[in-house]
Structure 1
């Protein structure tokens, strides 16, 4: 099983839950904040994954990745922080009770 297949369920859950949170107030603001957070997390992932791979702390089997890389880090590594940046606020929003005002 490749990393792309492992990521697929996380990405689908992120899309569905984020879409479900669209009915709650301030969806646009949440999406902007999530996009900014995702950009920061992608930069941090690029820096630290490349440092850890360069230090030979871990490697990726070539057969399990797409081959697309940002530096030494496979592109698949960047999907988890992007999903987290959108999924966590969406879950938080859906679990927060609606105000009765």
Structure 2
């Protein structure tokens, strides 16, 4: 169960951020990215576990698997798909807010370059 708690530490903030920014996130892109990333996770997790590159303590897992891959492994991909667009929009908001606080430089003609 330790991997479940670790997964929740990533999933809860990602889901909360996605819910708060639900109007700004392009959900079609998130859906397509989720499909691709979860498919790749399924393939490559099974490969690395099958080749014995990674081992899990089975007593720390929920016991649900997709092939050889524990279900907890998929939560990291899902957290990234939800969390990164939310983080992008939050950072963009901060940048726009900072830009709005800056004074706008005035444009003055250079000396010696008048109209002809």
TM-score (norm 2): 0.75
Task: Tell me if 1:39 matches 2:35.
Answer: yes
The 1-side partners of 2:11 and 2:47 are apart by 26
Between structure 1 and structure 2, the one with the greater Rg is 2
Per-residue Cα deviation, 1:6-61 (whole angstroms, up to 9, x for no partner) = 1112111011111221353xx3xx12211210111111011111001110111111
Structure 1 stretches lacking a partner, 5+ long? none
Count matched residues.
96
Runs of 4 or more consecutive aligned structure 1 residues displaced over 6 Å after TM superposition? none
Asked if the contact 1:31/1:86 (under 8 Å) is kept, the reply is no
Where 1:22 maps in the other structure, the secondary structure is coil
Asked if the contact 2:46/2:67 (under 8 Å) is kept, the reply is yes
- Per-residue deviation, 1:71: 0.5
Decide whether aligned partners of structure 1 residues 23 and 44 sit closer, same or farther in structure 2, where only a CA change above 3 A counts.
closer
TM-score (norm 1): 0.85
Structure 2 stretches lacking a partner, 5+ long? 101-116
Let me know the Cα RMSD of the aligned residues: 1.8
- The structure richer in helix per residue is 1
The 1-side partners of 2:37 and 2:87 are apart by 18
